[in-house]
Structure 1
Amino acid sequence: MKHHLLAMLGLHPKVLTETLYGLCVKRGIAITKVIGIASGVARQKIVSELLNPVTGEFYKLCREYPECFTGIQFSAESVRVARLGDDEIADIANSRQSQAYLDLIMRTVMEMTAHKEVCLHSVVAGGRRTMSVYLAMVMQLLARPQDHMYHLFVEPWEAETNSDFFFPPRQSRPMTTYGGLAFDAKDVLVELVEIPFLHLRPHVPAELLRSPDYQDILAWVQREVNVAPQLLPLSIDVDQHRILIGAIPISLEPAELAIYWYFAEKSAKREERVAREYYEGYFEKPKADGHFSRQASARMKSLYETLVQRHGMRSRFLNAFNKEGRIDLEHLRPHFSNLKRKISEKFLDEDFNRWYVVSAIGPRGDTCYGIRLDREFIRLPEARL
């Protein structure tokens, strides 16, 4: 596992060296890449105080503890500044500049969490408070279970306010504060406190993560929270050719019920390791020729025959299957529409009924189909086949 660090940085660049000391020296975590986000004004100070090859405190830290900083990447290009148009933002002073930093943090976190073999460590101790708040919120939406977020504490406080202190050295180094109080840099306690936070990313639909927008993801989370307590169990009544959402019956034609039964079965049998919102992991996707797989088609056909085995109404739906026994998407679309109409007639709230209809997820040409409802709400008929 590789370990990368994302830090919000401001006019006190010591936050970065203190954080690296806490992670690499005290915890033994081998950080190999550092990205900082800062204002334009802060970036100049970061470069001058940390990145001078001779006097820069970042290089001093690496020389002081060489065994802890092998192969670490950090340079002036690693410090990112948000832009409005072609201009770097010198400091955050209005809502447009604030939004630009939120967008930059979103893009950076997505980039740094793109590979599962990388663990992201983030620190909210530096930079403008707005930036730290944004990072904390974005981490809740986009961080994965393996990622971490920290706040930084330095004790005694005299060291925190001393502009010459950047990390505890190996040897004694007496220092004094502006008020004349003495302390030894070697004895300063640098502590990273891990911040527990919600990890919502495994639950965010894949289509929202392709080009993530904070407001869009936040709105999705709010809808999920609002609707979740209202969800009702879904059951399939084979004998009466209907589904029940809670106690509300919805009568369906045999073909509609067979199709719906198939997709409900797929959702009910989703493996526990597959997140409900990872629709690509268990929804059904047509092949390149527009037909569903032989296995999916055969199951729909079998369910249909179970429903009509005592009736003479079989030929029309069965004629939709080709010589290979596969059915194409175009034959199912009208049934999807009818199912949605019948469910919507009983439940007018779109935020509610979207859990029960057969949904299309993903861009054109790469769309998968299924029922969003969590498996714990789905009651399948007893096996008849």
Structure 2
Amino acid sequence: MTTKNQLLAVTGLSPQVVTETLFALHQQGEPLPEAIHILTTAEGYQRARLTLINDGWLGRFYDDYQLPKPAFSEQHIHVLEQADRTPLTDIRSQADNQAMADGITEWIRQLTEAPDTTLHVSIAGGRKTMGFYAGYALSLYGRPQDRLSHVLVSADYESHPQFYYPTPYSQVIYGNDPSRKPLDTQNAEVILADIAFVRLRHGLDQALLEGKSSFSSSVAMAQQALNPPHLIIAVKARELIANGKRIKLSPADLSFYLWLLHRQQTDQMAPTCPSDGAPDSDYAAEYLNHYRAINGELGGVDRTLSHLQNGMSKSFFEQRKSRINKILKANLHQAAQAYLIIPVGRRPQTRYQITLQKEQIHYQQEING
């Protein structure tokens, strides 16, 4: 059974950021997570296990505030790994840095996979780079319901090894500095600071959302989707290369797409769909110029010529348009919009065009049309 509300905390040598985050949520009257996950290093694992579980600080928080306890055990403390699957002890090299980034990205991808869950990522603990990658990974995979935060703790209590949350009763600890002044944990202030982030999930390829991916691959895919539209037409290969992705089309479909682009690039009016029972012979002639150039180069003849011998019909026009758009959406997802054949204007004068500009289109091999 999928846990709907989950907290993922990035921690290093200060596992108390978990209980501080939980206290802040409770203080603000917000729902507490049903499950808690921790991402950390090998030493961070020992600290989290010994303090939160063995020493009972997590259970103590829930008992103090009489709250139902979440799913949390040693299995919820995840040690980031090096490329050879050995536990990551610290981030000391570029390889460590890459392994950490990939590990954090993969965990956040998994925890955002189920559509009916909510993920709250806390970046209060661990090295700054760990927090950065957690925030960036949530930007890549986060959904509208997901959240990113940091906890702010009053100076005397921040990073204090004996402070885990403001208690509902008086408890004295001593300052973590030469003064050793007495402090009452009841008086500590903990504030949850939400961090706004840009959600780029719509720009990721479905394969990255469904399968394991490195941090660099995820970033590259999101960047590709955000780049200005650019189309390369590879006539001989019968491909469109949109945003760097190769999309195979049949000669009939590619010819239709090229026909529309050619009309736009030669400043002709965008075509309307032929009326039912009234095939358009001019459209058919223009289209066949492109089709013959492609088909003659590749060899072979199909049923396209016979379908157009009396002109371009409404069904032919709509089938080509729908099939091309379906292929573009399947390959480009949200990034497909700029390349789709879209309707412009109201019926019965609706015309169809592709919104790309001339400078965004490049032909690997020109054809006559």
Cα distance per residue 1:215-246 (max 9 Å; x no partner): 2332233334441599xxxxxxxxxx953589
Mapping of residues 116-135 of structure 1, within 5 Å = 116-135=115-134
Go from structure 1 to structure 2 and tell me whether the alpha carbon gap of 1:77 and 1:311 turns closer, same or farther (over 3 Å shift). Answer: closer
Mapping of residues 303-314 of structure 1, within 5 Å = 306-308=279-281
Cα distance per residue 1:141-179 (max 9 Å; x no partner): 110011000011001x11114211111111111222032
Go from structure 1 to structure 2 and tell me whether the alpha carbon gap of 1:171 and 1:371 turns closer, same or farther (over 3 Å shift). Answer: closer
- Which consecutive segments of 4 or more residues in structure 1 shift more than 6 A? 301-304, 309-315, 368-371
Cα distance per residue 1:10-41 (max 9 Å; x no partner): 11111111111112343331211011000001
Give aligned-pair identity as a percent: 22
Higher mean C-alpha deviation, range 205-214 or range 181-190: 205-214
Cα distance per residue 1:64-120 (max 9 Å; x no partner): 1222xx140111111111223242112221111221111111111111111222111
Displacement of 1:196 in angstroms is 0.6
Q: Is the 8 A contact 1:25 1:65 kept in 2?
A: no
Report the secondary structure of 2:217's partner residue.
Answer: helix
CA distance in 2, matches of 1:59, 1:9: 18
Go from structure 1 to structure 2 and tell me whether the alpha carbon gap of 1:378 and 1:33 turns closer, same or farther (over 3 Å shift). Answer: same
Displacement of 1:306 in angstroms is 4.2
Report the secondary structure of 1:359's partner residue.
Answer: helix
Report the secondary structure of 2:132's partner residue.
Answer: helix
Report the secondary structure of 1:158's partner residue.
Answer: coil
Q: Is the 8 A contact 1:120 1:148 kept in 2?
A: yes
Report the secondary structure of 1:31's partner residue.
Answer: coil
1:215 is aligned to 216
Q: Is the 8 A contact 1:83 1:100 kept in 2?
A: yes
Q: Is the 8 A contact 1:175 1:185 kept in 2?
A: yes
Q: Is the 8 A contact 1:207 1:361 kept in 2?
A: no
2:95 is aligned to 96
Letter in 2 for 1:361: A
CA distance in 1, matches of 2:335, 2:17: 48
CA distance in 2, matches of 1:4, 1:195: 17
Go from structure 1 to structure 2 and tell me whether the alpha carbon gap of 1:250 and 1:218 turns closer, same or farther (over 3 Å shift). Answer: farther
Cα distance per residue 1:183-203 (max 9 Å; x no partner): 221111111100011011134
1:270 is aligned to none
CA distance in 1, matches of 2:123, 2:335: 39
1:372 is aligned to 336
CA distance in 1, matches of 2:13, 2:335: 51
Q: Please, what TM-score do these two structures have when normalized by structure 2?
A: 0.67
1:36 is aligned to 38
CA distance in 1, matches of 2:40, 2:70: 20
Letter in 2 for 1:79: I
Q: Is the 8 A contact 1:358 1:369 kept in 2?
A: no
Q: Kindly indicate whether residue 202 of structure 2 is the aligned counterpart of residue 202 of structure 1.
A: yes
1:163 is aligned to 161
Report the secondary structure of 1:89's partner residue.
Answer: coil
Extract unaligned runs of 5+ from structure 1: 231-240, 252-256, 262-298, 321-325, 337-355, 363-367
Go from structure 1 to structure 2 and tell me whether the alpha carbon gap of 1:88 and 1:317 turns closer, same or farther (over 3 Å shift). Answer: farther
Q: Kindly indicate whether residue 181 of structure 2 is the aligned counterpart of residue 181 of structure 1.
A: yes
CA distance in 2, matches of 1:193, 1:310: 61
Supply the RMSD in Å over aligned alpha carbons.
Answer: 4.2
Go from structure 1 to structure 2 and tell me whether the alpha carbon gap of 1:174 and 1:207 turns closer, same or farther (over 3 Å shift). Answer: same
Go from structure 1 to structure 2 and tell me whether the alpha carbon gap of 1:213 and 1:198 turns closer, same or farther (over 3 Å shift). Answer: same
CA distance in 2, matches of 1:204, 1:88: 29
Q: Kindly indicate whether residue 332 of structure 2 is the aligned counterpart of residue 359 of structure 1.
A: no
CA distance in 1, matches of 2:158, 2:132: 21
Extract unaligned runs of 5+ from structure 2: 232-257, 289-302, 310-314, 350-369
CA distance in 2, matches of 1:167, 1:370: 43
Q: How many residues align?
A: 294
CA distance in 2, matches of 1:183, 1:101: 37
Cα distance per residue 1:319-362 (max 9 Å; x no partner): 89xxxxx99xxx97xx97xxxxxxxxxxxxxxxxxxx9963735
Cα distance per residue 1:43-83 (max 9 Å; x no partner): 1111111111xx3211111211222xx14011111111122
2:106 is aligned to 107
